[in-house]
Structure 1
Amino acid sequence: MSTKPAKYMMSLFSGAGGLDLGLKAAGFINKLCVEIDTAAQNTIILNHPQWKLASQGDIHALTPKELLDEAGLKPRELTLLAGGPPCQPFSKSGYWATGDTNRLTDPRAKTLKAYLDIVGEALPEVILLENVKGIAFSEKDEGLQFFIDELNNINRVKKTNYHPNVIGLNAVDYGVPQSRERVFIIASRDGKHFKLPSPTHFDPEKCPDQGLPYLTAWDAIGDLDVDIWLDEVKPSGKWADLLPSIPEGQNYLWHTERMGGIPLFGWRTRFWSFLLKLAKNKPSWTIQAQPGPATGPFHWKGRLLSIRELARLQTFPDSYEFAGDRRAVHMQIGNAVPPAIGEFLGLEICRQFFGESVRRRLELIPEKRTDCPPLETPKAVPKKYLSLQGAHGAHPGPGKGPGAQKREQKAHANV
């Protein structure tokens, strides 16, 4: 009986190990994790004591050859190089606030070059890179073009044939109980093409008979409701008492002149995540990596989500432990690739690039529940907010908001 050859992977910017956990479920063996954040390192140690952490967490502190040596591998022996360089330089939120982002001139974008330097040294059979949609924005895709150009240089010098397959997917389409759009760049050393499989899950209101229905927040966390609020889930800050007045699935826009509440805010004058609440009968909104007192998604009962609820919405199993305080853990979970998406992509890499017969059902997604209760009834707006009622101007558009105007005025004053 023949056995499959071992599939070795190296993980860069490993974070809490979400992508790694999914790839492990797909059959990959982790040889080295590179992660700079101490809390995330400790999370990996808690859950995967057999995995090796690089001696230096800063990817710039070791040469690509040193990293390969620490993994115990030689060039061309690595099956998969996986990772998600920091996405802030290419994020949509930065563009909306300022009209542009620094992108490749942002110091954090150096991590993209570091990833490629390791590709050039290790020459893995497959590369997998995750990032936000902004890396591939039309006419603002410098990061993607840089990546392609550098791969072409590697191909020319090393006689490889990496051709990137740029794939945009929403995690909810593949069984994750969360709407989360990301771009993945996948390439094989011998130039094979990767095709994204058709979605397995669909919006039951738009496609009632097309396939499996979306998994919802209730499917993921319906059994974890907190009856007696712990300190960690009590909302705080200026807007905490406004949360009960916002219906499930809505955000602060409910209280604008275009929606059904009372006009307390201007249209699109805040980030989408401001006072954003889950609807128990819908998939979760994207879990944010930058927690704040008014940053959602919040629980449909108007409280913060517990750490275990956040983890479940990202498809981390209940056995997974996180190191650090609440803020550090929230950031780890919000920055993670949902493990189920790592599992999905890992299985497809095995099928499409290595010709393996793989299972189609993901082990890391929740089961569908049939006991979802009715929506919560919104409460009245507390009196202390009523003084805000009135006419409020809408946001003028990308790069034209108050912050951008102040920066422009300051620039003109310095001329």
Structure 2
Amino acid sequence: MGNMTGGVGISLFSGAGGLDLGVENAGFEVRAAVERDRDAVMTMEKNFIHLKSPVLQNDILNVETEEILAAAGLGEGERPDLLVGGPPCTPFSKSGFWLEWKRAGLDPDASLLQAYTRVLREARPRAFILENVYALTYNNKASKPAFDRLLREIDEAGYELTWRVLNAADFGVPQARPRLFIIGVPKGQKMPVLPTATHGGSWERRATGNAERPHVTAGEALKGVVSDPEPTEEVGGRWGHLLPDIPPGQNYLFYTKEKDHPDPVFEWRSKYWSFLLKLDPNKPSPTIQAQPGPYVGPFHWEGRRLRVPEVKRLFTFPDSFELVGKRNSVQAQLGNCVPPLLAQRVAEQVAKVL
């Protein structure tokens, strides 16, 4: 499937376009996109040349499917080849469980899964890719009903599906980032399969992926990266002075009596794992977050915050990819996105059956 004749893709919840970039690298052309964040919209418009019209900057709940199809240049009765999107689902993310009102299922974002299945039902694409937080698959009060409903709605829209949690590091991304992928095609069509791991190593103290080819490390990814110091990269405040002494790959636990620190500062397991966490150049980066607190890593092994060109490398964005907005907006755009290389591996499998 050459780049010129790629199938027509439409994208929901596009963000900075990590999923879209991967889909285009697999040979599709993203011709219409819906995204409500202004900076992310501008990032999309700067980097995606196949868009037939400006990104629809709106909340998906206010956008008709016909408007999206028209934006893609599709006429009456024409169907897109591929629908892609990762509805933001804070209620099911690891951090979402901390809030009681989210646990009670009262988060309006939960309905964004239904916005995706509505467009699926109405646009009738030849295939779809849906990406989400892996906690959506948990067997608990918040996730199970939402996940069951999502799968049922996909079925009712006339699609067969397959799903799996994929860790980005197992596909050559220098970041451990487990995400849920659901792919599918209309019932009766040949089903695509999700990709098999190309790389492997250890993740959260267990073996993962393909042992024959080691994970790509943060050290390899950041080799030769050109980056200027950023005004916000120094870590100050109450705990910033502790960062320099922490060895690469370790976190605040370095300053506990259990780790034999002569002058302990913290109780054992009193903080998130990512608190004062430093990258290990010999391993993939841990998951990079969209809205990290002031002491939430991973930090560079040199004892500072990561710079934008470094974060882009750890997500597999090309160096030339331009992100629009202030530093914390860029962090959010990157931290919310699908690593393009992982998206590409999934989209390649879908392209095989189209």
TM-score (norm: length of structure 2): 0.89
Moved more, 49-58 or 209-218: 49-58
> Residues 309-349 of structure 1, C-alpha deviation per residue, up to 9 Å, x if partnerless?
00110000000011001000011011110010111111111
Aligned length: 344
The answer to whether structure 1 residue 144 and structure 2 residue 147 are counterparts is yes
Change (3 A) 1:76 1:308: same
Q: CA deviation at 1:290?
A: 0.5
Q: CA deviation at 1:146?
A: 1.1
Q: CA deviation at 1:184?
A: 0.6
CA distance in 2, matches of 1:179, 1:10: 27
Q: CA deviation at 1:76?
A: 5.8
Change (3 A) 1:98 1:232: closer
CA contact (8 A) 1:75 1:124 kept: no
CA contact (8 A) 2:279 2:300 kept: yes
CA distance in 2, matches of 1:260, 1:231: 35
1:126-141 equivalences under 5 Å are 126-139=127-140, 140-141=143-144
**What is the SS of the residue equivalent to 1:44?**
helix
Q: CA deviation at 1:46?
A: 1.6
Change (3 A) 1:167 1:54: same
Identity percentage of aligned residues:
41
2:172 is matched with which residue?
A: 175
The answer to whether structure 1 residue 27 and structure 2 residue 41 are counterparts is no
TM-score (norm: length of structure 1): 0.77
Q: CA deviation at 1:148?
A: 1.4
1:165 is matched with which residue?
A: 162
CA distance in 2, matches of 1:341, 1:260: 40
Q: Counterpart amino acid of 1:58?
A: D
CA contact (8 A) 1:166 1:186 kept: yes
Q: CA deviation at 1:164?
A: 2.2
Q: Counterpart amino acid of 2:346?
A: L
CA contact (8 A) 1:103 1:109 kept: no
The answer to whether structure 1 residue 80 and structure 2 residue 77 are counterparts is no
Q: CA deviation at 1:163?
A: 2.1
CA distance in 1, matches of 2:326, 2:3: 44
CA contact (8 A) 2:9 2:31 kept: yes
CA contact (8 A) 1:249 1:279 kept: yes
> Residues 275-300 of structure 1, C-alpha deviation per residue, up to 9 Å, x if partnerless?
11100111111111003321111000
1:264 is matched with which residue?
A: 265
Please list every run of 5 or more consecutive structure 1 residues that lacks an aligned counterpart in the other structure.
Answer: 156-161, 355-415
CA contact (8 A) 1:36 1:56 kept: yes
CA contact (8 A) 1:76 1:123 kept: no
Change (3 A) 1:40 1:152: same
1:243-282 equivalences under 5 Å are 243-261=243-261, 262-282=263-283
Please list every run of 5 or more consecutive structure 2 residues that lacks an aligned counterpart in the other structure.
Answer: none
CA distance in 2, matches of 1:329, 1:237: 22
1:272-311 equivalences under 5 Å are 272-311=273-312
**What is the SS of the residue equivalent to 2:32?**
strand
CA contact (8 A) 1:127 1:188 kept: yes
CA contact (8 A) 2:35 2:58 kept: yes
- CA RMSD after TM alignment: 2.6
CA contact (8 A) 2:217 2:283 kept: yes
Change (3 A) 1:94 1:272: farther
Moved more, 31-40 or 56-65: 56-65
Pick from 78, 81, 94: which aligns with 1:92? Answer: 94
Change (3 A) 1:93 1:81: same
CA contact (8 A) 1:89 1:103 kept: no
